[in-house]
Chains A and B, each alone.
Chain A
Amino acid sequence: MIPISHYLILSAVMFTIGCAGVLTRRNAIIIFMCIELMLNSVNLTFVAFSAYLGDSAGQIIVFFVMAVAAAEAAVGLAIVLALFRNKKSVDINDVNILKW
């Protein structure tokens, strides 16, 4: 039996990697992948707690999160695609016309 702390540490590390990726990477698609990594590390936390607490609610939440992440992926990729059509680039350093 693997203790719950292992799962929590793993998901915290995954969340941090995702977070660091969002802040340091410049490609919109990779940033988006890092956000997905963050969401999935949260899913791992939910499942670990669900098994630990013997409560099925946590696993049901994961289904909702997956559905939401899929909807977000559809919209997010469409936005990146619309940008690429106009700009021929998905580098967020090139996306800088709005500033003060």
Chain B
Amino acid sequence: MQQLLQDTLATAPLGVTILLSLVVILLHSFVKNSERAQAMVSVAGLAIAAAAAFWTFPMRGTAFSGMVMTGGYASAMSVLFIAGAALTILLARDYLGKIGADFGEFHILVLLAVTGMMAFASGLDLIVTFIGLEVMSVCLYVLAGMTRGRLEANEASLKYFLLGAFATGFFLYGIALIYGAAGTTNLAAIAQSASARAQDPLFLAGCGLLLVGFAFKVGAVPFHMWVPDVYEGAPSVVTGFMSTAAKASAFAAFMLVFIAKFDIAHGRISLALAMLSVASMVLGNVVAISQTSIKRMLAYSSIAHAGYMLIGLAAGTPAAISGVLFYLLSYLFTNIGAFGVVSIIENEKQENVSIESFAGLGTRRPLLGALMSLFLFSLVGLPPLSGFFGKYYIFYAAIAEGYTWLTIVGVLTSMISIYYYLRVVVVMYFRSDTDATAVPVTTLGTASLLLSAAGVLVFGFFPRLITDIADTLF
């Protein structure tokens, strides 16, 4: 009994989020037209969950018979998902009203997706990892197709669902083979005896299949086919959430299973990760150049950013893990901000997402223009914004591990990315306004954008704030 109470307290962020989603479900069922109240309750509850995550941070260890990780890494990742969800819910208030999809279910699904992400990123047993992944994915399938009268959204969610479920099959088969070879699904137990199974074909096949499942979820080339279509078709705020929080949780679980403390493959997948990384960086950045839709461009850029983070995974040292964590946090604020600006520019029919529709934004709406430029500069990785330090820490750790060639590819492909990011800035400031539609003012949306911008700036000027924490994860 004592143990149960202790474990429950140590996993408080997860518990608080689950309770919060239940509260919001009840609010949605019993109070009519309570969408605004639900959003506010969600944000307030997420603040409590974040406080719980800070409180549990020193409780490093495991809970529930070694099934989930508590404190340290798990708490840090929980804060990340909570931040992503809170910013998304704030941005979504006016956006959902504008596109005529102000459903209360949105908040419930976002909160349930966050619980899935937390379980996914803290599971120390492959079955917890799997269930976390599925809770997150099923919520995201629905969110992607939320505007169900719109053909683009139908198509996006159908593609996401079919390919996601397909990848789940591989992921699960990998777990089954690892279970057969190791006799357990507990990461610590598998890792302990992994060196004895270095040549076991069953175990290696299992690891390979698991790797495919993870590569799909982080959107790395050649498992990226779904990314552009889903990111383009889904409502913009949902895309912002998927490309940051969901990607972060996939990376967090990826690192937990294959890189960090209980590495089940003992560094043998390093070269495979390096290959995935090169392919993602090159394809993502090159194809992004030719895009005309800003959402599609950001989707390909998101593939490229997954490539940069995979450099850190290939290096696999503790320094690289804290670098990836910093990158995930920086990317969260930057990309939610960028998709947030896109969501404000869009009209009721979710059109206006071509790069040309940003023409003259810098003079029409100076604040939005400045914020978008800030986010784009951070995506390029210009100092002193947080995007620069994310790349810096990852590249630094990779060179220390002898992955100089990988770092060179990373630097060269980021130079390609300058072209397509800055093209948007040029269009915003140096192209005259062709489309005179007024962009509506949204208070909550702007507040959320300002918070994201604050994140980009603060972590850019004071990166030690995060790296000091990131060095004490385990």
Contact = CB atoms under 8 A, between A and B. Distances in A.
Contact of B161 (A42, A53, A68, A76): A76
Most A C-beta atoms less than 10 A away, residue of B138, B150, B152, B228: B138
Contacts of A32: 162, 165
B410 to A, nearest CB: 24
B161 A75 contact: yes
Contacts of B296: 100
B127 A64 contact: yes
A78 to B, nearest CB: 8
B173 A42 contact: yes
B130 interface: yes
B148 interface: yes
B233 interface: yes
A97 interface: yes
Contact of A100 (B152, B166, B185, B287): B287
A32 B148 CA distance: 20
B291 to A, nearest CB: 7
Contacts of B141: 75-76, 79
Given A49-B180, A100-B287, A83 B154 contact: yes
Contacts of B229: 98-99
A24 to B, nearest CB: 13
Contacts of A19: 166, 169
A78 B105 CA distance: 15
B131 interface: yes
Contact of A61 (B152, B155, B156, B179): B179
Contacts of A80: 158
Given A65-B172, A79-B141, A86-B149, A100 B183 contact: no
Contacts of A99: 229
A13 interface: no
A42 B158 contact: no
Contacts of B154: 79, 82-83, 86-87, 95
B158 A28 contact: yes
B199 interface: no
Contacts of B180: 8, 45, 48-49, 52-53
B158 A79 contact: yes
A76 B165 contact: yes
Interface in B9-67: none
B232 interface: yes
A39 to B, nearest CB: 6
Given A49-B180, A71-B134, A97 B155 contact: yes
A49 B156 CA distance: 37
A16 to B, nearest CB: 11
Interface string A52-78: 110101100100110010011001101
Given A45-B173, A98-B229, A100-B287, A53 B183 contact: yes
A38 B173 CA distance: 9
A35 B152 contact: no
A80 B184 CA distance: 37
B407 interface: no
Most A C-beta atoms less than 10 A away, residue of B173, B185, B290: B173
22 contacts: A18-B169, A19-B166, A28-B158, A35-B166, A39-B169, A41-B173, A52-B180, A57-B184, A72-B165, A75-B142, A76-B165, A79-B141, A80-B158, A82-B145, A85-B148, A86-B149, A86-B150, A87-B154, A97-B155, A98-B232, A98-B233, A100-B296
Q: Shortest 4 CB-CB distances between A and B: which pairs? A: A38-B169, A49-B180, A45-B176, A83-B154
Given A64-B127, A96-B155, 12 more contacts: A22-B162, A28-B158, A38-B166, A42-B169, A46-B179, A61-B175, A68-B131, A72-B138, A79-B157, A83-B158, A100-B228, A100-B290
Interface of A: 8, 15, 18-19, 22, 28, 31-32, 35, 38-39, 41-42, 45-46, 48-49, 52-53, 55, 57-58, 61, 64-65, 68, 71-72, 75-76, 78-80, 82-83, 85-87, 92, 95-100
